[in-house]
Amino acid sequence: MFRLHRYEIFCNGKKLCRPYSTFIKANADEFRDVQTDLIKTPDGKIVAWIWFGISCFKATMRGKKYGGLVGLRLRQFNIEIGGEHTLDKFFKEQRGNGYFIGEVHVVDKRLIPNSRRDYFVENDALVEFERALKHYIEWNLDKLYRTGSELNSAFNRINKFSELKNEYDRKNRQGFTSKKEQETLELELETAKKKADDSEKTILKVVDRAEQNERSPLKKMVRLIQKERDLENDRTFLQAAPESESDPNKKVRAKLLVDELSNLKKSERKLVSLIYDIIRDNLGADISEALIKNIHAELKVQK
């Protein structure tokens, strides 16, 4: 539909190319798909066409470590106008442009670059273009990266719940350091369960919307997240966490580590349990667990 001007530029005999890639170095995300579209005015007039990369939209990717490739770029006749921040103002949040890689190619010949070539000269054509671009970004790109962020957060909350369940079950088998630790874990598990339930509903809503259009950028994003998490199809998004081996809401006497210290008197076991609590409250999880394990092993062999 549109002619794309191409200019071959060589430096010391080497052809210069744009440094776009599907992978941005030092980033946890990756662009694996591309979406193209037309940007139109309310009456259907085409003012530009756009291409942009699709990722899982985990986080904004601005910064020197990403090679300055991130951000939609503005072009006319395939020559860049401005730089990586030129189109930031069209997003609801300035950081929004940092989630994307791509180009907006204007097609309206009434748009005239200024002398610095960092934007266009003010005229009616520019007003028309800006309105159309702002509307497109608001209803497409803004919603896309926010939905991606929302989807990733939902999965993180479900994963957190699963981790807490596994931790509770392990402690229930091996013994809690104290009654206080059991109650703390039960409260955390109850809170995480509520968040996970809400997250499942959020994921289902996004998946249902994505299924309405197989070629939409939303569907492409959902597929990428699905692939990254090794899920077989859209409905396996909700991989249920394994059922707890015990119900934390059922009030039963907790199995405590000090129960194994039969060589100690009841009052001594209470004191040891209190010491375990102090260690757990004042040291990091990994350090406190290792220290308690070593102390416990020594006490078990004491006669």
Chain segment 169-206, per-residue pLDDT in tens: 988 888 888 888 888 899 999 999 999 999 999 999 99
Q: Strand pairing partners for 71?
A: 101
Contact 224, 54 (CB under 8 A): yes
For 90-137, write each residue's pLDDT tens digit. Answer: 999 989 999 999 999 999 999 999 999 999 999 999 999 999 999 999
Which residues belong to CATH 3.30.230 in the chain?
Answer: 10-141
pLDDT greater than 60 at residue 236: no
The three-state secondary structure class of 94 is: helix
Q: pTM of the full predicted structure? A: 0.78
Q: Identify whether the C-beta of residue 100 lies closer than 8 Å to the C-beta of residue 141.
A: yes
pLDDT of 45 reads 96
Q: Which tens digits make up the pLDDT trace of 14-66?
A: 887 776 666 655 456 788 899 999 999 999 999 999 999 999 998 888 766 55
Q: How many residues does the chain have?
A: 303
Look at residue 234 in the predicted model and tell me its pLDDT: 46
Query: What single string gives the DSSP state of each residue in 165-234?
Result: HHHHHHHHHH-BS-HHHHHHHHHHHHHHHHHHHHHHHHHHHHHHHHTT-TTSHHHHHHHHHHHHTT-SSG
- Asked whether the predicted pLDDT for residue 5 surpasses 90, the reply is no
- The pLDDT confidence band at residue 239, using thresholds 50, 70 and 90, is very low
Query: Which residues does 172 contact at the CB level (< 8 Å), separation at least 6?
Result: 245, 246, 254, 255
Q: The domain 10-141: what is its CATH number?
A: 3.30.230
pLDDT at residue 67 above 60? no
pLDDT bucket at 227, cuts 50 / 70 / 90? confident
Per-residue CA distances from 142 to 57, 90, 92, 145 (Å): 11, 10, 7, 6
At residue 276, the pLDDT reads 84
Phi-psi region of 286 (alpha: psi -120 to 50; beta: other; left: phi over 0): alpha
Write down the pLDDT at residue 177: 83
Higher pLDDT, 179 or 210: 210
pLDDT band at residue 292 using 50, 70 and 90 as cut-offs: confident
How many of the other CB atoms lie within 10 Å of CB of 175?
18
| pLDDT value at residue 281 | 83
- Percent share of the chain, pLDDT over 70: 83
Say if CB 185 and CB 164 are below 8 A apart: yes
Q: Which of 77, 73, 70 shows the shortest CA–CA distance to 113?
A: 77
pLDDT of residue 76: 95
> Residue 148: what pLDDT?
95
Whole-number Å distance between alpha carbons of 235 and 124: 48
